[in-house]
Structure 1
């Protein structure tokens, strides 16, 4: 961000000096500075929900009048498929590879990022961009567990799609999914689903926390970090930094898996020895 702002300032000063003749020279190149080191913060565990809390939150979204039912599958995508909000906002029907029930797959292609109509090329609040840290046209597959598969089918049957195939849009604004609508629905859901003592904390403070909760569940369940990183659209290095706590806390799960494998191997050896005898 600092480098970008420096570049913008330098361009403005260059214009002022050479085009408008307001300055003798562009002063920015002479400024000495050290680029700040990029840091990736670990997630705040006070914000991460468990599966039961997520289901309560989705139910609280569902019962909201007007926009609520339209947003259940949207929020579910963040948790069950580990999507970023802008990725779910750009989700289209042709990206779904879903059976009638059970596990499916979703092929993410674009991120419909909210920047405000004054800052987009289209003049709309959202612009279609490539996936974060990916080249344009790159596809990232993510899982659709049975719960999400059912919710997506129900959403399409009930609300259909936009003319371009997008799943999620506003009740009145057929062209896009307003960010304010998302935040308002989430705020109401927290107040309804969470006990007062939890609603007053940072637990599930923003919709993005659903993504953190989903990825944390994958890791704590013993899923290989490489697979989690691919689904989450993160590098392994960044994944380890953000979710270091859950990775260190999953040792018990890993030990249990190894122990199960060892017992299975020993059982095979015992059976083989018995058959030879």
Structure 2
């Protein structure tokens, strides 16, 4: 629990950093705004057409009684929309980092210089490489999120367990995947691959979740992500600084494109 509290403290420091510097806040909010508009439009479109989608996907229910068919398809439709909203939080981070890679790289550099004394031998990422890394890592994480979503959706039908444990698991899984995204640029600047990043995060699970769980929950509130995401990225930069040992070999290990 102590590590969890330290993780919350890292997020608090992230808020302090961006709220005390309007330039950093604006730099981080612009890509987040564009991403919010794109994903909100997609989720609203899905919600509008979910009845037709569910009916198309469940032709076997056409012969059921009206009551059971309606209950089944309504529950499935709600599950699809809820799952899409949960997935959109993870996807939000991936898309925002693709759209605003240079913005977030500059934020990472400033946070590292101010709070961590800089990163010796830090790599310059640039837009093309950050976009490639964002797309590649984002696709991997979205596939993981989809697999978890299917599993948790099925577990949700278990009485009591589905209404108590599954929602908590959903938040934990979503927060973990979000943390992997939030620490992408700071780790790449240190020459660390996705595999190394995930291994480092697993060494301090409480710390990672302490930072990421509040971010995940706050990002579920529309438009709040415009402030939360820049602060979360600053917190993720601080988190990466704690997880990568000072003086570790910064030699590039993540080629482009690979």
- Give me the TM-score of the superposition, normalised by structure 2: 0.26
Q: Which has the higher helix share?
A: 2
- Give me the TM-score of the superposition, normalised by structure 1: 0.25
Q: Which has the higher contact order (CA 8 A, sep 6+)?
A: 2
Q: Which has the higher strand share?
A: 1
